A and B are shown apart, each in its own frame.
Chain A
Amino acid sequence: MLQVGLTHFLIISAVLFSLGIYGIVTRKNAVMVLMGIELVLNAANINFVAFSKFGNFGLGGQVIALFVIVLAAAEAAIALAIVLNIYKTFSNVNVDEIDHLKE
Chain B
Amino acid sequence: MSESLLINLSIIILFLPLLGFSIVVLLGKRFPKLYLLEVGILGIALLLSVALLLGKFTNYMTNDIVASFTWITMGNAPLVGSLNIELGIKIDNITAIMLVVVNLISFLVHVYSIEYMRGDKRYTRYFAYLGIFTFSMLGIVLTHNLLMMYIFWELVGVSSFLLIGFWFEKKSAADAAKKAFIVNRIGDIGMFIGILILFTHYKTFTFDLIFQQIADGNLPFGSDAWLTAAGILVFMGAVGKSAQFPLHVWLPDAMEGPTPVSALIHAATMVAAGVYLVVRIFVMLTADAMLVIAVVGAFTALVAATIALTQNDIKKVLAYSTVSQLGYMVMSLGVGAYAFAFFHLVTHAFFKACLFLGSGSVIHAMHHEQDIRNMGGLRKKMPITYYTFLVSTLAISGVPFFSGFLSKDGILAGTLAFGKLTGHWLIPLMAFTVAALTAFYMFRLVILTFHGKPKDHHKFEHAHESPFVMTAPLVLLAVLSIFIWYTPNPIAPDAGWFMKTWVKTPVQVTPLESRFNFMQPSREEAKVHGEVVHSVEYSEAIHWAHYPAMLLSLIVAGLGILIAFMFYQWKKLNADKLAVKLQLLYNFSLNKWYLDEAYDATAVHGTLGSSKMLAWFDNKIIDGIVNGSAWVTRFTSKLSGLFDTFVVDGLVNFSAFFSGFIGLSFKRLQTGKVQTYIVYVVFAVIFLLLFLKPF
Contacts and interface: CB of A to CB of B under 8 A. Distances in A.
B679 A96 contact: no
Contact of B675 (A33, A100, A102): A33
Interface string A12-41: 000000000100111000000100000000
B672 A102 contact: yes
A95 B676 CA distance: 11
Contacts of A99: 671-673
A102 B674 contact: no
Interface in A76-103: 95-96, 98-103
Nearest to A28: B675
Q: Tell which of A98, A99, A100, A103 has the most Cβ of chain B within 10 Å.
A: A99
B11 interface: no
B114 to A, nearest CB: 96
Q: Tell which of B670, B673, B679 has the most Cβ of chain A within 10 Å.
A: B673
Contact of B670 (A21, A24, A100, A102): A102
A21 B682 contact: yes
A95 B675 contact: yes
B678 A24 contact: yes
A21 B681 CA distance: 11
B670 to A, nearest CB: 6
Nearest to A21: B682
Contacts of B682: 21, 25
Contacts of A98: 674
Contacts of B673: 95-96, 99
A100 B678 contact: no
Contact of B674 (A21, A26, A95): A95
Interface string B652-693: 000000000000000000111111001100100000000000
B672 A24 contact: no
B434 to A, nearest CB: 110
Contact of B672 (A21, A26, A33, A101): A101
A24 B675 contact: yes
Nearest to B679: A25
A101 B672 CA distance: 5
Interface residues of B, number: 9
Give the contact-size bracket for chain A. 10 to 19
A33 B675 CA distance: 9
A98 B674 CA distance: 9
Contacts of A96: 673, 675
A27 B453 CA distance: 138
Nearest to B673: A99
Contacts of A21: 678, 682
A90 to B, nearest CB: 13
A71 B682 CA distance: 22
Contacts of B678: 21, 24-25
A103 B678 CA distance: 19
A93 B154 CA distance: 101
Contacts of A103: 672
A102 B679 contact: no
A98 B673 CA distance: 7
Contact of A25 (B670, B671, B672, B675): B675
B509 to A, nearest CB: 104
A74 B682 CA distance: 24
B40 to A, nearest CB: 95
A25 B683 CA distance: 12
A100 B671 CA distance: 9
Q: Tell which of B670, B674, B678, B679 has the most Cβ of chain A within 10 Å.
A: B674
B88 to A, nearest CB: 92
B682 to A, nearest CB: 6
B679 A100 contact: no
B154 to A, nearest CB: 83
B336 to A, nearest CB: 111
Nearest to B675: A25
B550 to A, nearest CB: 123
Contacts of A26: 675
A37 to B, nearest CB: 10
Nearest to B676: A25
A82 B51 CA distance: 113
B665 to A, nearest CB: 15
A99 to B, nearest CB: 3
Interface string B532-551: 00000000000000000000
A59 B360 CA distance: 134
A26 B674 CA distance: 11
A99 B668 CA distance: 13
Nearest to A97: B673
A102 B668 CA distance: 10
Given A21-B682, A25-B679, A100 B674 contact: no
A95 to B, nearest CB: 6
B671 to A, nearest CB: 6
A64 B617 CA distance: 100
Contacts of B679: 25
Contacts of B674: 33, 95, 98
Contacts of A101: 670, 672
Contacts of B675: 24-26, 33, 95-96
Interface in B184-230: none
Contacts of A102: 670-672
B110 to A, nearest CB: 95
Nearest to B682: A21
A102 B674 CA distance: 11
A88 B679 CA distance: 27
B348 to A, nearest CB: 106
A26 to B, nearest CB: 8
Contacts of B672: 99-103
B663 to A, nearest CB: 11
Contacts of A25: 675, 678-679, 682
Q: Tell which of A25, A100, A103 has the most Cβ of chain B within 10 Å.
A: A25
Given A24-B678, A102-B670, 15 more contacts: A21-B678, A21-B682, A24-B675, A25-B675, A25-B679, A25-B682, A95-B673, A95-B674, A95-B675, A96-B673, A99-B671, A99-B673, A101-B670, A101-B672, A103-B672
Interface of B: 670-675, 678-679, 682
| Top 4 A-B residue pairs of the complex, sorted by shortest distance between their CB atoms | A102-B672, A99-B672, A101-B672, A25-B675
19 contacts: A21-B682, A24-B675, A24-B678, A25-B675, A25-B678, A25-B679, A26-B675, A33-B674, A33-B675, A95-B673, A95-B675, A96-B673, A96-B675, A99-B673, A100-B672, A101-B670, A102-B670, A102-B671, A103-B672
